[in-house]
Structure 1
Amino acid sequence: MKIYLVGGAVRDQLLGRPILERDYVVVGATPEQMQQLGYQQVGKDFPVFLHPESKDEHALARTERKQGQGYTGFICDFAPSITLEEDLMRRDLTVNAIAQDEDGTLIDPYHGQQDLNARVLRHVSDAFGEDPLRVLRVARFAARYHHLGFTIAPQTQSLMQRMVDDGELATLTKERVWQEIEKSLKDGAIEVFSDVLASLNALSLVMPWQNTWTTDDSQRLKACTSKLDKQDDDYLLTSFALWQHRAQLNGYNLEQDFKIPKAYSEALRDLQAALPLLHSDDWQTHTIMQLFSALDAWRRPQRLILMCKAARTLSDKLAQRCDMLTQAHRLGAKVNAQEVIALGFKGPQIKTEMDKLKTQAISALFEG
């Protein structure tokens, strides 16, 4: 039995990037042997085991044979006789098909190091075309490593185009598509992800509501997201909202139809609802109050904060208005319901009177 470090850990180690997780392939072992050594099996479709101490994933070397359409129609073989080279051949890109043994020696049968040095994303074999999910993965890697100068090999681009033209992307589940989108959002260059899919005429297949994508869209998004703090807890939500705020949703329910989490779809809806008011030439106290009402900002101030984080990146004008919104909310929040009740107001009158007092407080921002 031999154990090799594989995939992303080897790739990122060679690129000098932080290693976030370590995956291993095990050659010459059976599931029973792994369990006897204390490994915990977690995979159902194929044997994947957790190391008894480190909990790193260890997968038995395997080969795959395509059966049917889509990315789940595979028959896998995990016989102990399967070699490391056979296992690496089934991987998507050459840069992900490099292994390292326990002594640190690299095993690179498909010239992944050469492609790393050349900054090229190239498929390992024609088996790439059997899994439509790999179209999204390559778009994601192209985005992740764009700042390092990586490009997609022309042959791989052509293969991806054939997969799109053959309708393979239609077999992907909405949940799996979203996982790739969210991973690309985390990487911080979602505009490149969109550029790649748009170049394949595949963006509308992944996100039907986003039926246009231009170079200007890409440049504007990059300019906006570059102003965000990637360490901020709201980075993913704000970058998603900025990415999609120009899209015409046309009745699409992102949560139900595309399995996009509520926090993301709400961030997008709030930004789209707020922008007409933020851009309004009639920027007055009543406009601010209308915006606060649309965002339910008195009860859920975090929605206002999140919207402003995104909106303020769009222009200096909107940044100034978001600063004003913050001040206005602070003034309005000082209005105390108990004091209004003490004045004798009851039921619906309480909210009406509080809105009057909040309006008076906020109007001070427009005086002088």
Structure 2
Amino acid sequence: MSLQVDIRKSFGDYTLDVAFEAGDETLGFLGASGCGKSLTLRCIAGIETPDEGRIVVNGKVFFDSEARINLTPQQRKTALLFQNYMLFPNLTVADNVAAGIGREASKEERAAIVARELDRFGLRGFGQRYPAQLSGGQQQRVALARMLAASPGILMLDEPFSALDAHLKGVLEQNLVSLFEAYKGTILYVSHDIDESLRFCDRIAVVDAGRIVEEGTGDELVNHPQSVAGLKLSGCKNATPARRVDEYCVELPQWGIRVQTETLVPANVKCLGVRAFYLECAEGPGENCYRMRVDRVSDSRFERTALLGFVDRPYAEKQAVDFDDNEMSYLHQHAFWRISKHTDKVLPREGDVLWIRIPSDKVYLVTH
């Protein structure tokens, strides 16, 4: 099984320009809303037509602008799972599952395929119900069963959990495990959730403004991000513009400080990142130690997050602004610090002034 995509499509000021290959694996597309993830899947499925380029699935040319090839969605025989599952409300569960099975299959074969997929997804006994009689989780399982029953050349899932609460999402993720185990071929998985992508995907492509800016394993993305988009999508709360001072030092104009690094600073460094839970208390002045004021705190179940303002900003390009004057500029001048509530230390409180250290071996430097 294989997939080769090299396409471009323009919408006024926005252009999708992606090129990638995939084999028997789950390739994730990770990116913010509107970056081109879903559009890429729709082009592969034949719902959208690229302006130019080529799409080849398992040796079959789906689209080739030069050769004037553009197969219909029916001819492509792909499976694309949307967020709302797209079940036929007037068909029973069994008929929904059978909807994608080719006409060449006999009545007995169709019945056997439907029974197999209903059983696989825990839907035995639901065949004669209608979608409106099912829970959201059951509807999703019907949609997944329909995907496998059709024996598609490629599976594509477009943020299948975006509308679910956390508990139901955890339960239904197991349905995807069953789907992925049963399917041998290329699976494309769209998400804006890094943890979701890490659980399901062998490789992850970071999409930003219509382009793939980096590809790699989940471990590579989390521990060695190569782009600003990848840095932010990997869950790094602190990402700020940087410029090189020398081989092991960068200046951060929005924070107004300089940071020493253990890794060599690239000449074209663009951004520094440091995860919120890597910041640590310090006794006083020292390398990468800064006086910081706790301007806000917020609590989750197990953590406290503190918004830290730099008291001393000798390298700032602009004066500090208040929240009421410019919310985004205010936030960009701050660092996030995340502390476990399960600690014997006193948790930071709003108004505290502390010495905070940025470990030189815990920073990321990206160039694009």
Q: Same fold (TM over 0.5)?
A: no
Higher relative contact order (CA 8 A, sep 6+): 2
Structure with a larger share of its residues in helix: 1
Q: Considering only CA atoms, is the larger Rg found in Structure 1 or Structure 2?
A: 1
TM norm structure 1: 0.32
